[in-house]
Amino acid sequence: MTTVARMLVTALADHGVTSVWGVVGDALNPVTDAIRTEDRVEWVGVRHEEAAAFAAGAQAQLTGRIGVCAGTVGPGSIHLLNGLYDAKKSHAPVLAICGQVPMAEMGSEYFQEVDNDVLFKDVAVYSRTVTSAEQFPYVLEQAVNAANQHQGVAVITLPGDVGDLEVPRGTPEPRFVDHHPSTTPAAEQLAEAARLLDGAAKVTMLVGKGAHDAREDVLATAQLLSAPMVLSLKAKEGLERDNPYQVGQSGLLGNPAAQHAFDDCDVLLLVGTDFPYREWYPTGKTVIQIDARGENIGRRVHVDLGLVGHAETTLAALRPLLHAKADTSHLERSRERYEGWVEKQQHLTDPAYDRKRLGVVRKLVDNTSRAIRPELLAAAVDRHAADDAIFTADTGMSTVWLSRFVHMRGTRRHLGSYNLGSMANAMPQALGASALDRRRQVVAFCGDGGLTMLMGDLITAVTYQLPVTLVVFDNSRLGMVKLEQEQGGLPEFGTVLANPDLAKVAEACGLRGVRVEDPDDVDEAVREALAHDGPVLLDVVTNPEEISLPPKPTLSQAWGFAIAKSKEILVSGE
C-alpha cells in the first residue's frame, strides 16, 4: 500500500524530477515527508515561494522536462503566482503542488482558505483539487500530461487530509506522455513560400526560440537566401555562435544593423518567433511566418503566408524548393553595419574609456558620478565565463547588457523573464539552474532592484550549496524605468534606490561578497568571483546615467531626453 503523497513523489522521481522547490507547512507535510525518504528527489526550501516557481520554471526551460514547485495553504500558494505566470509566458512545463484546508472545511471561509481552482484558472492549463485517493492517480496523470503537451503550468491542490490517504491496492501507476511529434506544412503551402522567396531580390530572416533545435536548417536556409538574420533575444543561445548571417537583436535592446536588415528587404521570413513589439517590424513587406503554434501566426504583423509547422522539418522540406541567390549585397551591407556597431560598442568596455578623449567629453553628460560603465562589467563577465556557462538576467537594463555584450559561444545557455517581464527573476532562476548540475557555472546578471526584491533567497544558495555567481549592476536605480521616464520627457522620479553595501549583506548571509567601485578593478574581480568555489555576490557600482540608445531613436525620444534632463537640473538646483 502507498499514500497519495508517496505515489506523487515516486511518480515524479520516475519521470526524472530531481528537485522540488517550496516552503514547508501543514497541508504539504505528507508531501515533504515523502520527499525526505526519496533519494532521487531533493527538497529545496526557499524563503519565498515566488523564488520556488521561478526556479522550477528555469529547470523546465533548461531541460525541456517538467519542473516542480510547492506552496502550502492560502498565502503560500498565492506567492507562487508570479513565477508561475513567468512559466506560462515562457511555455515552460511546470507542476505546482498546492495545499488546501481539510476537506470538511472547504467552502467555509476557514482560516487561510483560498479557492485554488479559481486562483490559478488563468495561469494554468490544468487545475484540479483532489478529494479522494481513488481520484488522485488520474489527476496526477492528466496534470503532468497537460503541462508537457501544452508547455504550460498545471496545478494540483491537496487538502490537508488527503496526502496521507492510502491509495487502493492495485491502482495503476501514473504514466506520463512528453513526446512532441514534429509537424510540416502541406506541399502546396511550401511551394507558395518558395515562389515568394525566389521572387524577392532581398530577404531578411527574423528567427526566434522556436528554431532552437533547427540550427543547421536555419543556417542553410540563410545561406541559400543570402539573408541577414535578426535574432530574438531568446534565440541567441542556439544561433548566435559561429553564425555569419546574424545581425543581432531588434527592439529597444537592438542595433541599427538589425533595423536596416528589416527596412531594406522585400520579404521578411519569420521562423519560430513571436517577437511582440509591432512598432519594430518593417512595413510594406511580404511576410512569411513559420510557427508550430498556429495561434501565433499573424498576431504581431500582417502575414501574407502562414506555415504551421516546426522549424526543423519545415525548413528541411522548403530548402530543396529554393534557388540560391547570387546577389549577396543585402547580406553584406547588413553585416558591415552590424560589425561596425559592435566595434563602436566595444569602446565602452575599456576601463580607461572615461580618461580618453571621447570619454572625457561624454562623461560630462552621461557619467557625472564617474562610476563604472555597465558595458565594461558585462564584457568582463563574457570574457571570463566558461563556454558552457548558464546566464540569467533580470528584466530591464541587465537584459540589455547581456544582449549586447555576452556572446552565446560554446554550449552557453541563458534565461530571463523575457515574456512576462517580471522583476527579481535572475537570482531564483540561477538557483534552479545550479541545482540541476552544481558543477556547471551559473551567472546571474542582477539589477539592484531585482536582487533586493527577493534578497532573502541569498540564504537558499548557501543552505543548499548552490555555487551561483550573482553579478549585481548596482546603479542605485530602477534603470529601465528611469530611461522610460526620460524618453517621455519626464524627470526621473521614484527610481532611486537607497541600497546597502550588498557585498556585506551577502557576507552576512554566508556568501562571499565582493564590492567594486573602480573601473580598473573590474576585470580581476570578475575573474576571481567566477573562480570561487561556492556562491558569490559581486556588487559593482555602475553608472546610473548610462543611456542605451534604441536602433533608430526618434526625434520625440531625443526631445524627451532633453526636456527630462532640463527638468532634472532645475529640480536639483532648487
Pairing outcome for strands 512-516 and 536-541: parallel
Q: How high is the pLDDT of residue 548? A: 66
407 neighbors 241 (Cβ within 8 angstroms): yes
Pairing mode, strands 2-3 and 166-167 = antiparallel
pLDDT at 479: 81
DSSP, res 178: -
3-state secondary structure of 476: coil
CB 288 within 8 A of CB 303: yes
Residue with cell 529554393: 322
DSSP state for residue 246 in the 8-state scheme: B
Q: What top-level class would CATH report for the domain 187-340?
A: alpha beta
pLDDT band at 573 (very low <50, low <70, confident <90, very high): very low
Instruction: Select the CATH number that applies to the domain covering 2-167 from these four: 3.40.50.970, 3.40.630.40, 1.10.1270.20, 3.40.50.1010.
Output: 3.40.50.970
Q: What is the DSSP letter of 549?
A: -
Rounded CA-CA distance 568/43 in Å is 49
Look at residue 563 in the predicted model and tell me its pLDDT.
52
Q: Sign (positive/negative) of CA torsion 198, 200, 205, 210?
A: negative
Who wins on pLDDT, 484 or 340? 340
Q: Mean pLDDT, to the nearest integer, of 375-396?
A: 97
Quote the DSSP letter at residue 496: B
Backbone dihedral angles phi then psi of residue 157, each to the nearest 5 degrees: -105, 125
**The pLDDT of residue 552:** 59
DSSP bridge partners of 290: 271, 307
448-478: per-residue pLDDT in tens?
Answer: 999 999 999 999 999 999 999 999 999 989 8
- Residue 285 and residue 266 in contact, taking contact as beta carbons nearer than 8 Å: yes
Closest CA to 223 of 337, 341, 315: 315
Distance CA 118, CA 155 (A): 11
Per-residue pLDDT reduced to its tens digit, 332-367: 999 999 999 999 999 889 888 878 766 665 666 677
Beta strands 469-474 and 442-447 are parallel
The residue among 480 and 96 whose pLDDT is bigger is 96
The Cα 274–Cα 235 span in angstroms is 11
The rounded distance, in Å, linking the Cα atoms of 553 and 551 is 6
* pLDDT tens, residue by residue, 254-295: 899 999 999 999 999 999 999 999 999 999 999 999 999 999
* Mean pLDDT, residues 238-264 taken together: 94
d(CA 21, CA 56): 7
Q: What is the mean pLDDT of the chain?
A: 93
User: How many other CB atoms are found less than 10 A from the CB of residue 572?
Assistant: 8
Task: Give the Cα separation of 550 and 259 in Å (integer).
Answer: 10
How far is 259 from 273, CA to CA, in rounded Å?
17
Per the CB < 8 A criterion, the answer to whether 478 and 449 are in contact is: yes
CA pair distance 18, 437, nearest whole angstrom: 11
70: cell is 510547492
pTM of the model: 0.94
Domain 2-167 and domain 350-572 have a common topology: yes
- pLDDT range class, residue 570, cuts 50, 70, 90: very low
Grid coordinates in use for 393? 538576467
pLDDT tens digits for range 73-112: 999 999 999 999 999 999 999 999 999 999 999 999 999 9
Mean pLDDT in residue range 125-153: 97
Total H helices, total E strands in the chain = 23, 19
Helices 49-63 and 81-89, interaxial angle, to 10°? 20
Range of weakest confidence among 129-138, 245-254, 290-299: 245-254
Domain residue ranges of the chain, discontinuous segments joined by +: 2-167, 187-340, 350-572
| pLDDT, tens digit, 9 for 90 and up, residues 412-439 | 999 999 999 999 999 999 999 999 999 9
Integer Cα distance of 11 and 302 in angstroms: 45
Section 308-335 average pLDDT: 98
Q: Poorest-confidence range of 9-23, 249-263, 555-569?
A: 555-569
Cα 569 to Cα 15, 478, 489, 574: the distances in Å are: 60, 19, 13, 9
- Nearest Cα to Cα of residue 371 among 517, 516, 482: 517
Look at residue 574 in the predicted model and tell me its pLDDT.
38
Q: What pLDDT score does 556 carry?
A: 56
Q: What are phi and psi of 42, to 5 degrees?
A: -100, 130
**49 or 171, greater pLDDT:** 49
- Reply yes or no on whether the pLDDT at 158 is more than 70: yes
Q: Which helix (H) or strand (E) holds 343?
A: helix 329-346
Q: What number is the average pLDDT over the span 127-143?
A: 97
Q: Report the run of H or E that residue 444 belongs to, with start and end.
A: strand 442-447
> Is residue 19's pLDDT more than 60?
yes
pLDDT band at 10 (very low <50, low <70, confident <90, very high): very high
Alpha helix ranges (H) inside 497-536: 502-509, 522-531
The four Cα atoms 75, 79, 80, 81 give a dihedral, to 10 degrees, of: 100
Task: Give the count of beta carbons closer than 10 Å to the beta carbon of residue 89.
Answer: 17
**Per-residue pLDDT, 561:** 43
Cα(406)–Cα(209) distance, rounded to whole angstroms?
17
User: Cβ(35)–Cβ(43) under 8 Å?
Assistant: yes
Confidence of residue 572 (pLDDT cuts 50, 70, 90): very low
Query: Are 401 and 424 a contacting pair, CB within 8 Å?
Result: no
Percentage of the chain surpassing pLDDT 70? 94
The mean pLDDT value for 513-521 works out to 97
Q: What is the mean pLDDT of residues 130-157?
A: 97
Do residues 448 and 473 touch, judged by C-beta distance below 8 A?
Answer: yes
Supply the pLDDT for residue 178: 81
> C-alpha grid cell for residue 424?
527579481
pLDDT for residue 9 is more than 80:
yes
Q: How far is CA 88 from CA 23, 84, 123, 127, in A?
A: 21, 6, 6, 13
Q: What is the pLDDT of residue 75?
A: 96
The CATH number of the structural domain formed by 350-572 is 3.40.50.970
Q: Facing residues of 99 across strands?
A: 158
161, 102 contact by CB (below 8 A):
yes
Please, how many CA atoms are within 13 Å of residue 200, restricted to the half-sphere of its CB?
Answer: 27
